């Protein structure tokens, strides 16, 4: 799952009992079939009729016809169907048949975050972007909890006339649940049902209603209405508000509660197809499919059709960090979002010996429990007790006490459970492991202290005859430093499928984000009790993609004529790379400065993105030329581009992207790389810019010309950037450490600054 609530999942698996149909014929499978529409016989009035006729002409020895699932109108030319081996053989011989792919499965991959992003109702992106007014965001996710306060439509004008979507009735969902905020809700489950998943309450709803809560969280993060006093059991109290609070939301449910196969490619394609047909302006997907070449990845295929219609597509980068080459959703037409922390922390104060020592630790334990003058237990001298390993604690020793332990690298949940099993009152764990940023670990009164503070605790216990503690929970720390940091789970570049494009594109908030939740499901288990809440803290790149799409909605509202690539360029060239201590953004995993392979161009900065000065634009044909450059076959390119005719005489891997990456390894002999770029002025006046380069070590970067001028809005200027590599020095010695620097265009006598990372990385 892309949203990191592993522990909850364990509970989920125990609680769930999704019945599986055992009667599925062995050789039946669900397939996505790509067709060449230009070969459709004239006798058919629509391609849908053509496909149905093909399917009805096919038969098996047992007399069965194939079952049609979806006809796709936008994302691809073709359909999905349940076919036997015999059907497959017949289908492959039919005229117009292009390719077939077996269905695949993907997985899921905020009160203060708007403030952290610098959004202000009186100045900057919020008023300039009209709070996202009349921009429609499609959220492709687990559905929606329509009663949430975050989806109230107070003060919103009528639904835009151009909207063609619908609010589908279904299980516990009535079309009357939509309003001027939530303007559409649909559900797509045919593909998953073919896998034998029976979707029935109370395990999930076969309707747009959100069971899991993930879609409600992402939708309210992107465009939730303001809700006063939202909080997670007292933490993070404040007004919860989406990034584009006046934007409209349409929910497309393609993810269902099922750990292994949460989302079928056939359903995801159907959801994206419908979102395009309905008229969304932007889409966000917080899920990922296994990384394959782009024509086999439903999100890459669907997103290509979307951007062709001017729809901006933002996706989660994945939670497979901190190793390199772990990106999801890295197609160059997608805007790929990594996760960073915000400047808010959740804490507990621990006082030892009635005041001898006080330490602030991290905790999101959700109860206002009074712990005062309680005995402390530490099994020092016995390693298994020090680590609270399974069955190491004796209930006789620890009952009613607070246990102190050291974190065991492979422990975490199991250590917390051991403390619980032994009947202790709570625990203090010494650890700098990031796993403890997840609320789902706090099933007992638990405080996590740094190893340095842990040593002080140990010292106190050893020296004290009768060690005791007081603990005060429910402390929210604002303005914590340094922030942002790159979350260690955030997937890192380069992107396997196209490493010559730097990914992720940008970083956005994705750690302990407070947003709306489906209050159906016990969220946190405290002993035997599941606590329910309307708002929840979640972490993951799932949370960062909706932040980015919210900012993109503000930009789209202010600049309706900007292409998806222009919006991405504005987000990238204005992103910041320094944290709130004015130091380099740190990688939480290593504790040292992160690189563009971790954060892309940097952390999004909505107020600056509104007015980037210049943009690097990309047209659809450029992406086709890029696929040609990747040596994709004409069949692969036809599938992605839905064009029956195209040529590859302009093959070009050097997309007009606002970032630069050079790939090196021990076999590299090339020492010079040239990037060709075109800048477009998006300001309503003439302007002049001068290039400056922060040279990456071991590289010599030269920009020609180093000064560019623009006659007016939309006037363009070309430049070439040459990177000379000193292979002895710049060659990355280990797989993921790259040297990096920046190219910055400074406006002469103006304020615009257009910045791009230049990075070298290890080539696989
Ligand atoms: C849906 O809501 C409308 C209006 O509240 C109501 O008249 C109708 O009976 C509801 N339909 C279902 C299926 O519950
Ligand atoms: C999810 O569905 C798959 C089949 O598609 C099945 O094997 C698996 O057991 C299901 N998981 C749950 C939690 O029901
Ligand atoms: C703490 O508890 C002990 C007995 O367990 C008692 O002697 C002591 O006075 C208590 N201290 C405070 C500050 O309440
Ligand atoms: C951590 O705990 C696990 C499970 O309790 C145990 O198997 C392992 O040996 C422990 N690791 C260390 C480094 O102590
Ligand atoms: C350490 O504690 C465990 C669990 O209580 C016990 O089984 C083991 O014998 C102890 N080892 C030593 C060296 O005391
Ligand atoms: C594409 O094929 C050409 C010719 O074989 C080769 O030189 C080039 O490296 C290939 N490009 C990629 C991205 O694999
Ligand atoms: C590359 O070459 C360097 C120096 O010759 C060597 O230390 C390093 O191990 C090599 N790396 C790989 C991946 O072969
Ligand atoms: C790179 O150069 C070295 C020696 O200079 C040579 O042995 C090697 O074959 C060259 N590699 C390629 C890919 O050209
Ligand atoms: C960039 O380089 C290309 C290829 O060498 C050349 O044709 C073009 O004129 C150069 N552009 C500029 C602005 O120097
Ligand atoms: C910038 O301002 C200076 C001083 O006013 C002027 O001399 C110069 O020509 C201006 N440059 C541009 C590109 O406008």
**Could you tell me the CATH number of the domain that includes residue 151?**
3.40.50.200
Q: What is the pLDDT of residue 532?
A: 64
pLDDT, position 377: 96
Tally Cβ neighbours within 10 Å of residue 323.
Answer: 11
First to last CA, the chain: 27
Q: What residues does 283 pair with on adjacent strands?
A: 138, 313
The pLDDT of residue 5 is 42
* CATH number for the domain harbouring residue 16: 3.30.70.80
Quick one: 517 and 559 in the same domain?
A: yes
State the pLDDT at residue 442: 83
Tell me, yes or no, whether 348 and 318 share the same domain.
no
Q: What CATH number did the domain enclosing 710 receive?
A: 2.60.40.2310
Q: Residue 310 to residues 462, 554, 556, 557: CA-CA distances in angstroms? A: 66, 15, 10, 13
Residue 624 inside a domain? The answer is no
619, part of any domain: no
Residue among 673, 674, 720 whose CB has most ligand 9 atoms within 8 A, to mutate: 720
Strand order in the sheet with 263-264: 263-264, 105-108, 287-289
What does the pLDDT average to over 296-316? 98
Q: How many domains does the chain have?
A: 4
Identify whether residues 459 and 503 lie together within a single domain.
Answer: no
Interval 517-529: pLDDT, tens: 877 665 555 555 5
| Closest CA to ligand 7's atom 3 | 733
- Catalytic annotation on 229? no
pLDDT band at 474 (very low <50, low <70, confident <90, very high): confident
Is residue 424 domain-resident? yes
Ligand 4 atom, smallest distance to 414 CA: 5
Proximal ligand: closest to the CA of 710: 10
Q: Which of 575, 591, 609 is the last residue of a domain?
A: 609
Predicted confidence (pLDDT) at residue 507 exceeds the cutoff of 70: yes
In this structure, which ligand is nearest to the CA of 469?
A: 3
CATH code for the domain of 357: 3.50.30.30
Q: Please check the confidence at residue 545 and state whether its pLDDT lies above 90.
A: yes
Give the tens place of pLDDT for each residue, 11-34.
Answer: 232 222 222 222 344 588 999 999
Ligand 2 pocket at CB < 6 A: 13, 16, 18, 20, 195-197, 258-261
Q: Is the CB of 394 under 6 A from ligand 5?
A: yes
Q: How far is the centre of ligand 4, averaged over its atoms, from the C-alpha of 478 (Å)?
A: 35
Taken in order 471, 415, 362, 441, is the CA torsion positive or negative? negative
The last residue of one of the domains, among 102, 130, 164, is 102
- 542 catalytically annotated: yes
DSSP string for residues in 109-165: ---SHHHHTT--SSSSHHHHTGGGTT-EEEEEES-B-TTSGGG--TT--PPPTT---
Torsion angle of the four alpha carbons 225, 229, 234, 236, in this order, in degrees rounded to the nearest 10: 50
| Secondary structure of residue 723 in the 3-state scheme | strand
Query: Is the CB of 389 within 6 Å of ligand 4?
Result: yes
* pLDDT tens string 104-146: 988 776 444 455 666 777 778 888 888 888 899 999 999 999 9
More confident residue, 375 or 488: 375
Mean pLDDT on 541-565: 96
CA–centroid distance, residue 161 to ligand 1 (Å)? 24
Catalytic residue (one of 87, 214, 217, 547): 214
Tell me if 260 sits within 8 A of 271, measured CB to CB. Answer: no
- Shortest CA distance to 315 belongs to which of 505, 149, 448, 471? 505
SS percent in the chain: helix, strand, coil, step 5: 25, 30, 45
Two structure tokens written together for 738 = 């790259």
Kindly name the residue from 141, 281, 470, 617 that is annotated as catalytic: 141
603 and 466 housed in the same domain: no
Catalytic (active site) residue 644: no
Range of the domain at 447: 344-477
Q: How much of the chain exceeds pLDDT 70, in percent? A: 91
CA of 668 to the centre of ligand 8 (A): 8
Probe target for ligand 7 pocket from 733, 734, 737, 762, with the most ligand atoms within 8 Å of CB: 733
The verdict on residue 643 lying in a domain is: no
337 and 192 belong to one structural domain? yes
The alpha carbons of the chain give a radius of gyration, in whole angstroms, of: 27
Please list every protein residue whose CB sits less than 6 Å from any atom of ligand 3: 354, 373, 468
pTM score, two decimals?
0.87
pLDDT at site 560? 96
Domain ends where: 102, 122, 148? 102
Residues 167 and 69 in one domain: no
Got the DSSP string for 638-688?
HHHH--S----TT--S----S-EEEEE-TT----EEEEEEEEEE-SSS-EE
pLDDT score for 26: 57
36, part of any domain: yes
Residue 736: what pLDDT?
55
In a shared domain, residues 198 and 320? yes
Could you tell me if 333 and 350 lie in one domain? no
Mean pLDDT of the chain: 89
CB hemisphere CA count around 419 (13 angstroms): 33
**C-alpha 685 – ligand 10 centre gap (Å):** 15
- Residue of the CA atom closest to atom 14 of ligand 8: 669
Ligand 3 atom, smallest distance to 354 CA? 13
| Angstrom distance (rounded) from CA 571 to CA 573 | 6
Q: Whose CA is nearest to atom 10 of ligand 10?
A: 749
The verdict on 136 and 77 lying in the same domain is no
Q: Of 488, 542, 544, 760, which is the active-site residue? A: 542
238-288 residue pLDDT tens: 778 899 999 999 999 999 875 544 789 999 999 999 999 999 999 999 999
The model's pLDDT over 579-628, given as tens digits with 9 standing for 90+, comes to 999 999 999 888 899 999 999 999 999 999 999 999 999 999 999 999 99
Give SS3 for 326.
coil
Q: Which of 496, 631, 637 to mutate for ligand 6's pocket (most ligand atoms within 8 Å of CB)?
A: 631
Residue 108 covered by a domain: no
Closest ligand 6 atom, residue 630 Cα: 13
691 occurs within a structural domain: yes
Strands 227-232, 506-509: pairing is unpaired
Q: Does the residue 648 lie in any domain?
A: no
Residue length of the chain = 764
Same domain, 178 and 264: yes
Indicate whether 380 and 509 sit together in one domain. no
Tokens of 473: 């929970």
Strands 335-340 and 506-509: parallel
CA of 411 to the centre of ligand 4 (A): 7
The pair phi, psi for residue 338, each rounded to 5°, is -90, 175
Q: What is the pLDDT of residue 730?
A: 73
- Residue 79 Cα, ligand 4 centroid: separation in angstroms? 50
Q: Whose CA is nearest to atom 2 of ligand 3?
A: 373
DSSP 373-421: EEEEE--TT-HHHHTT-TT-S-HHHHTTSEEEEE--TT-SHHHHHHHHH
CB 46 less than 6 A from any atom of ligand 6: no
For 591, residues 6+ apart whose C-beta sits below 8 A from its C-beta are: none
Asked whether residue 315 falls in the same domain as residue 363, the answer is no
Check residue 665 and give its pLDDT: 83
């Amino acid at each position: 799952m892309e949203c990191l609530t592993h522990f909850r999942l364990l509970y989920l698996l125990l609680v769930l009992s999704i019945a599986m149909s055992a009667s599925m014929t062995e050789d039946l499978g669900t397939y996505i079939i790509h067709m060449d529409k230009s070969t459709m016989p004239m006798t058919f009035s629509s391609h849908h009729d053509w496909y149905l006729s093909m399917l009805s002409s096919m038969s098996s020895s047992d007399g069965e016809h194939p079952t049609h699932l979806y006809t796709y109108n936008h994302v691809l030319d073709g359909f999905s169907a349940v076919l036997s081996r015999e059907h497959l053989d017949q289908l492959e011989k039919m005229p117009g048949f292009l390719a077939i792919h077996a269905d695949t499965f993907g997985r899921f991959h905020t009160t203060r975050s708007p403030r952290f992003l610098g959004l202000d109702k009186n100045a900057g992106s919020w008023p300039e972007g009209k709070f996202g007014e009349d921009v429609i965001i499609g959220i492709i996710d687990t559905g929606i909890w329509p009663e949430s306060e975050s989806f109230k439509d107070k003060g919103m004008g009528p639904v835009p006339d151009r909207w063609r979507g619908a609010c589908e009735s279904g299980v516990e969902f009535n079309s009357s649940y939509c309003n001027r905020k939530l303007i559409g809700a649909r559900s797509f489950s045919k593909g998953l049902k073919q896998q034998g998943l029976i979707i029935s309450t109370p395990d999930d709803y076969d309707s747009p209603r959100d069971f899991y809560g993930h879609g409600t969280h992402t939708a309210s993060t992107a465009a939730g209405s303001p809700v006063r006093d939202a909080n997670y059991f007292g933490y993070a109290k404040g007004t919860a508000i989406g990034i584009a609070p006046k934007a409209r939301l349409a929910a497309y449910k393609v993810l269902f509660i099922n750990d292994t196969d949460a989302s079928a490619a056939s359903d995801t394609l159907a959801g994206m197809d419908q979102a395009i047909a309905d008229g969304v302006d932007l889409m966000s997907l917080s899920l990922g499919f296994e990384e394959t070449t782009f024509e086999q990845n439903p999100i890459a295929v669907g997103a290509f059709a979307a951007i062709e219609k001017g729809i901006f597509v933002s996706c989660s980068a994945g939670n497979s960090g901190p190793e390199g080459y772990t990106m999801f959703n890295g197609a160059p037409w997608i805007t790929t979002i990594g996760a960073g922390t915000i400047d808010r922390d959740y804490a507990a104060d621990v006082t030892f010996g009635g005041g001898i020592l006080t330490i602030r630790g991290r905790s999101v334990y959700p109860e206002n429990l009074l712990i005062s003058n309680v005995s402390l237990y530490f099994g020092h001298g016995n390693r298994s007790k020090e680590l609270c390993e399974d069955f190491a604690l004796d209930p006789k020793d620890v009952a009613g006490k607070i246990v102190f332990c050291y974190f065991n690298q492979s422990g975490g949940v199991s250590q917390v459970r051991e403390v619980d099993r032994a009947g202790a009152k709570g625990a203090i764990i010494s650890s700098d492991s990031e796993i403890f940023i997840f609320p789902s670990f706090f099933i007992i009164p638990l405080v996590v202290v740094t190893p340095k503070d842990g040593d002080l605790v140990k010292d106190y216990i050893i020296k004290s005859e009768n060690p005791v503690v007081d603990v005060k929970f429910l402390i929210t720390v604002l303005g914590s430093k340094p922030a942002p940091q790159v979350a260690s789970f955030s997937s890192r570049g380069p992107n396997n499928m196209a490493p010559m494009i730097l990914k992720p594109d940008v970083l956005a908030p994705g750690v302990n984000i407070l947003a709306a939740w489906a209050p159906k499901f016990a969220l946190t288990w405290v002993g035997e009790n599941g606590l329910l809440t309307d708002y929840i803290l979640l972490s993951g790149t799932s949370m960062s993609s909706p932040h980015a799409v919210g900012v993109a909605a503000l930009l789209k509202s202010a600049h309706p004529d900007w292409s998806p690539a222009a919006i991405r360029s504005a987000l990238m060239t204005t992103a910041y790379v320094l944290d709130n201590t004015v130091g380099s953004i740190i990688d939480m995993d290593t504790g040292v400065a992160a690189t563009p392979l971790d954060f892309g161009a940097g952390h999004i900065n909505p107020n600056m993105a509104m007015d980037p000065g210049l943009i690097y634009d990309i047209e659809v044909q450029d992406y086709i030329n890029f696929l040609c450059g990747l040596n994709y076959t004409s069949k692969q390119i036809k599938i992605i581009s839905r064009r029956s005719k195209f040529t590859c005489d302009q093959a070009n891997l050097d997309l007009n992207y606002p970032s630069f990456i050079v790939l090196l390894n021990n076999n590299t002999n090339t020492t010079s790389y040239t990037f060709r770029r075109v800048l477009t002025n998006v300001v309503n006046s003439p302007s002049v810019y001068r290039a400056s380069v922060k040279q990456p070590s071991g590289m010599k970067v030269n920009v020609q010309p180093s000064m560019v001028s623009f006659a007016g809005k939309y006037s363009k200027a070309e430049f070439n950037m040459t990177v000379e590599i000193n292979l002895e020095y710049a060659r990355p010695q280990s797989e993921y450490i790259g040297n990096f620097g920046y190219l910055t265009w400074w406006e002469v006598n103006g304020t615009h600054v257009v910045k791009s990372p230049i990075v070298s990385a290890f080539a696989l």
